[in-house]
């Protein structure tokens, strides 16, 4: 009783209803890892449109397979993406404005050579606590995008709240101060002159200074920038996604567009293992050299040492490559990995029908795809489907479609319960949603009242999914169950501080094979 009863009268006390809603998590946040023109490095950045990607990462770039995959992702219905930029030896443009006062572009790449900076002394009056000649204003513009930043009353005094190094690090998207750790800019930079009447001071050479041509894009990335084992401790490459709260799909486009630019078995294996740990799906691209179905079969295909990817329930392979116009090459046709477009279709299907609907069929149209690099027949599709290869097919009228929905564990010979992609993704959705929605249980008294609340809250969540058509069954009893009682949690469990919750569901499985039986009716026989 929280209130002490001290005087005669009426006391009001609010009692908790015990209802704690379980909210379903997102199902199609897609992480992309690769090379871009600009942007923060080894840091997952969320973008929700290709226009936002252009502003933050520079847009399409021929050497960036990630940029094309992301464009196809949004083109096919994707809405949320996480971009992890990696590079191989890229350097940033710099500008020296005074002895010991060096500016550097906020991240590597030649984009920094388009920056211009201006210094002026139109600051507030110096206070008695300000060192003499320590205040100044800094303006920076990115000529390529038009983005402009202005910082007033900066100081070279590290004890000042407007200390330049600290302000730029926390507030600027364009520049930083280059100083060794523990040092400060030695001198306030000299102010620029005033521009001619009507001139833009950040475009006039006398009124601002351009960064030097020291930026570099670096060499083509390799698997070592993405999946080298030592990157895990530093949270770089694939493991930069440790900094992200949630992602559902992972795309690692080819390293380059040139033949042989595929990611190798090191990256494929690391990506599949990481997705298993994070309850996500890895969308696997085929090798560029696979130009006919026989390339995937036997010792030279999916069972080869060079392929090296174990049959994971958290990975799905799509074949073949896509062919569509390249905006940077006069819209001439070029070949692209399918991962981005397929992830977009998954996002589109999730939004329209739910994660339990297979992202395949007549609704899974590959937007913007003119043709496929390999035109598969029914017979060839029949060779690959039992091996858990999801085929992309071209059909008259309907166009280019996703025509498969199996995980890599979906080979017929494996007889896995995670054969189908929608079943596996539904399970991952439930796991993540229930994991997050049951955090309130920790440190609660472990007895019947708690178990009843757990059954109530988790059962309400499962019932809502049943009403949306997520499970098999004519009734809730046939579709799912939630158990948390003396049967699941024994006295020994209680003594150990453990509460056991058992949730079961009857998944919807796709109608992969439709069999229509026809029978000819014989004429009526007169007896």
Span 384-422, pLDDT tens digits? 999 999 999 999 999 999 999 999 999 999 999 999 999
The answer, yes or no, to whether residue 497 has pLDDT greater than 80, is yes
- Confidence (pLDDT) at 185: 67
Q: Is a pLDDT exceeding 60 seen at residue 375?
A: yes
The confidence score (pLDDT) of residue 316 equals 97
What residues have CB less than 8 Å from 463, skipping those under 6 apart? 476, 480
CA dihedral for 75, 78, 81, 83, sign (positive or negative): negative
Which range (35-39, 91-95, 512-516) has the least confidence? 512-516
Give the mean pLDDT of 191-195: 91
Burial class (CB in 10 A: 0-12, 13-18, 19+), 11: exposed
- Give strand ranges (E) for 183-231: 209-210
Contact 177, 185 (CB under 8 A): yes
**Token pair recorded at residue 317:** 């392979």
The residue behind tokens 């930043």 is 149
Around Cβ 151, how many Cβ atoms within 10 Å?
Answer: 17
Residue 184 confidence (pLDDT): 64
Q: Is the pLDDT of residue 506 over 90?
A: yes
Name the residue with higher pLDDT: 150 or 519.
Answer: 150
186 has a pLDDT exceeding 80: no
pLDDT in tens, 277-314: 999 999 999 999 998 999 998 777 888 888 988 899 99
How is residue 367 annotated by DSSP? T
pLDDT at 390: 97
CB neighbour list of residue 245: distance below 8 Å, 6 or more residues apart? none
pLDDT at 214 over 90: no
Distance CA 176, CA 158 (A): 15
The arrangement of strands across the sheet holding 371-372 comes to 332-336, 322-326, 371-372
Residue 227 backbone dihedrals phi, psi, to 5 degrees? -135, 15
What pLDDT band is residue 180 in, cutting at 50, 70 and 90?
low
- What's the confidence (pLDDT) of residue 20? 86
Could you read off the pLDDT of 79-103 as tens digits, one per residue? 999 999 999 999 999 998 877 788 9
Domains of the chain, first to last: 30-88+221-423 (3.40.50.11780), 94-210 (no CATH), 449-527 (no CATH)
Distance, CA of 343 to CA of 337 (rounded, Å): 12
Residue with tokens 């158990």, as numbered in its chain: 483
**pLDDT reading at 73 higher than 80:** yes
pLDDT in tens, 434-477: 999 999 999 999 999 999 999 999 999 999 999 999 999 999 99
Contact 315, 407 (CB under 8 A): yes
For the CA atoms of the chain, what is the radius of gyration? 30
Among 131-140, 180-189, 379-388, 492-501, whose mean pLDDT is lowest? 180-189
For a pLDDT cut of 90, what percent of the chain falls above it? Answer: 79
Q: In the block, which residue shows the tokens 């003396």?
A: 486
Give the closest residue to 150 by CA, choosing from 105, 100, 202, 111. 202
Report residue 262: phi and psi, to 5°. Answer: -65, 155
- If you average pLDDT over every residue of the chain, what do you get? 92
Residue 243 has pLDDT above 60, yes or no: yes
Backbone phi and psi for residue 61, each to the nearest 5 degrees, phi listed first: -150, 130
pLDDT-above-70 percentage for the chain: 97
- Name the nearest CA neighbour of 250 among 258, 259, 241, 263: 241
| pLDDT computed for residue 372 by the predictor | 96
In this prediction, residues 10-23 reach a mean pLDDT of 86
Q: What is the pLDDT of residue 2?
A: 64
Q: What is the DSSP letter of 243?
A: G
pLDDT at 101: 83
What distance in Å separates the CA atoms of residue 265 and residue 73, rounded to the nearest whole number?
24
Cα separation, 379 vs 372, whole angstroms: 17
Q: How far apart are CA 123 and CA 351, in angstroms?
A: 52
Q: What is the pLDDT of residue 415?
A: 92
Q: Residue 182 pLDDT > 80, yes or no?
A: no
Residue 50 above 80 pLDDT?
A: yes
Pick from 164, 158, 109, 157: nearest CA to 140: 164
**Residues constituting the chain:** 527
222-234 average pLDDT score = 95
- Other beta carbons less than 10 A from residue 121's beta carbon: 12
- What pLDDT is stored for residue 183 in this prediction? 61
Would you state the structure tokens that stand for residue 270, as one six-digit string? 């690391």
């Amino acid at each position: 009783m929280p209130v002490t009863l001290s005087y005669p009268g009426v006391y009001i006390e609010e009692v908790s209803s015990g209802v704690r809603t379980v909210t379903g998590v997102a199902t199609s946040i897609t992480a992309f890892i690769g090379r871009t023109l600009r942007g923060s490095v080894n840091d997952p950045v969320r973008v929700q449109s290709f226009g936002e990607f252009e502003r933050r990462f520079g847009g399409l770039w021929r050497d960036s397979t990630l940029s094309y995959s992301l464009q196809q992702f949004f083109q096919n219905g994707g809405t949320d993406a996480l971009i992890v930029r990696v590079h191989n030896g890229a350097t940033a443009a710099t500008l020296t404005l005074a002895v010991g006062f060096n500016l550097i572009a906020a991240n590597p790449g030649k984009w920094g050579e388009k920056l211009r900076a201006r210094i002026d002394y139109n600051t507030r009056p110096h206070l008695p606590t300000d060192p003499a000649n320590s205040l100044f204003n800094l303006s920076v513009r990115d000529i390529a995008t038009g983005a402009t930043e202005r910082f007033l009353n900066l100081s070279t005094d590290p004890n000042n709240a407007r200390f330049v190094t600290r302000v730029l690090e926390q507030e600027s998207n364009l520049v930083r101060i280059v100083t060794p750790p523990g040092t400060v800019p030695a001198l306030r930079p000299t102010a620029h002159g005033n521009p001619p009447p009507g001139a833009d001071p950040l475009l006039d050479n006398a009124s601002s200074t351009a960064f030097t041509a020291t930026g570099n894009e670096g060499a083509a990335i390799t698997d070592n920038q993405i999946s080298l084992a030592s990157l895990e401790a530093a949270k770089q490459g694939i493991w930069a996604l440790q900094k992200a709260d949630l992602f559902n799909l992972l795309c690692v486009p080819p390293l380059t567009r040139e033949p042989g630019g595929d990611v190798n078995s090191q990256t494929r294996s690391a990506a599949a293992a990481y997705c298993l740990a994070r309850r996500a799906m890895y969308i696997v691209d085929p090798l560029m050299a696979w130009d006919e179905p026989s390339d995937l079969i036997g010792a030279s295909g999916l069972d080869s040492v060079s392929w090296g990817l174990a049959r994971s329930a958290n990975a799905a392979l799509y074949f073949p490559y896509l062919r569509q116009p390249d905006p940077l090459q006069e819209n001439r046709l070029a070949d692209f990995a399918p991962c981005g477009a397929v992830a977009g279709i998954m996002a589109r299907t999730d939004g329209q029908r739910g994660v339990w609907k297979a992202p395949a069929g007549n609704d899974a149209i590959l937007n913007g795809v003119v043709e496929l690099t390999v035109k598969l027949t029914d017979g060839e599709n029949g060779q690959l489907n039992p091996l858990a290869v999801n085929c992309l097919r071209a059909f008259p009228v309907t166009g280019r479609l996703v025509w498969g929905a199996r995980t890599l564990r979906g080979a017929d010979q494996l007889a896995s319960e995670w054969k189908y992609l929608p079943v596996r993704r539904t399970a991952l959705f439930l796991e993540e949603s229930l994991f997050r929605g049951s955090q309130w249980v920790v440190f609660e008294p472990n007895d019947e009242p708690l178990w009843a609340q757990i059954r109530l809250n988790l059962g309400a969540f499962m019932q809502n999914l049943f009403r949306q058509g997520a499970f098999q069954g004519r009734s809730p009893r046939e579709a799912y169950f939630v158990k948390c009682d003396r049967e699941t949690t024994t006295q020994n469990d209680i003594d150990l501080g453990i509460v056991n919750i058992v949730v079961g569901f009857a998944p919807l499985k796709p109608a992969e094979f439709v069999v229509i039986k026809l029978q000819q009716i014989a004429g009526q026989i007169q007896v």
